Amino acid sequence: MKSFVAFLTAISTVAAHATWQELWVGSTDQAGKCVRTVPSNNPVTSVSSTDIRCNVGGTKGVSGVCDVAAGETLTVEMHQQPGDRSCSNPAIGGNHYGPVMIYMSKVADATTADGSSSWFKVAQDTYAGTTASWGTEILNSNCGKRTFTVPKSLASGNYLVRAEAIALHTASSTGGAQFYMSCFQINVTGGGSATPSGVSFPGAYKASDPGILINIYQTPITYKAPGPAVWTG
Ligand X SMILES: *[C@@H]1O[C@H](CO)[C@@H](O)[C@H](O)[C@H]1NC(C)=O
State the residues that interact with ligand X by CB under 6 A.
Answer: 65, 67, 158, 187, 189
CB of 67 to ligand X, least distance (A): 6
Q: What residue 200 binds from ligand X, Cu ion, none (CB within 5 to 8 A, per partner kind)?
A: none
Q: What are phi and psi of 25, to 5 degrees?
A: -105, 115
CB of 82 to ligand X, least distance (A): 26
Q: Are 68 and 110 in contact (CB under 8 A)?
A: no
| Subset of residues 12 to 71 that bind Cu ion, contact rule: CB under 5 A | 17
Residue 53 vs 169, nearer CB to Cu ion = 169
CB of 15 to Cu ion, least distance (A): 9
| Subset of residues 154 to 193 that bind Cu ion, contact rule: CB under 5 A | 178
| Subset of residues 115 to 134 that bind Cu ion, contact rule: CB under 5 A | none
* Three-state secondary-structure class, residue 141: helix
CB of 200 to Cu ion, least distance (A): 26
Residue 29 vs 67, nearer CB to ligand X = 67
Q: What residue 187 binds from ligand X, Cu ion, none (CB within 5 to 8 A, per partner kind)?
A: ligand X
User: Measured in whole angstroms, how far is the alpha carbon of residue 115 from the centre of its chain?
Assistant: 14
Selection from 134, 138, 210, 140 nearest residue 171 by Cα: 210
Q: What residue 65 binds from Cu ion, ligand X, none (CB within 5 to 8 A, per partner kind)?
A: ligand X
Q: Are 225 and 126 in contact (CB under 8 A)?
A: yes
Strand order in the sheet with 100-106: 66-69, 178-189, 157-167, 100-106, 120-125
CB of 2 to ligand X, least distance (A): 55
177 to each of 162, 205, 208, 216, how far by Cα in Å? 18, 12, 10, 11
Residue 76 vs 110, nearer CB to ligand X = 110
Count of residues that bind Cu ion according to CB under 5 A: 2
Q: What are phi and psi of 28, to 5 degrees?
A: -100, 120
Question: d(Cα 21, Cα 151) in Å, to the nearest integer?
Answer: 23
Binding region for Cu ion (CB under 5 A): 17, 178
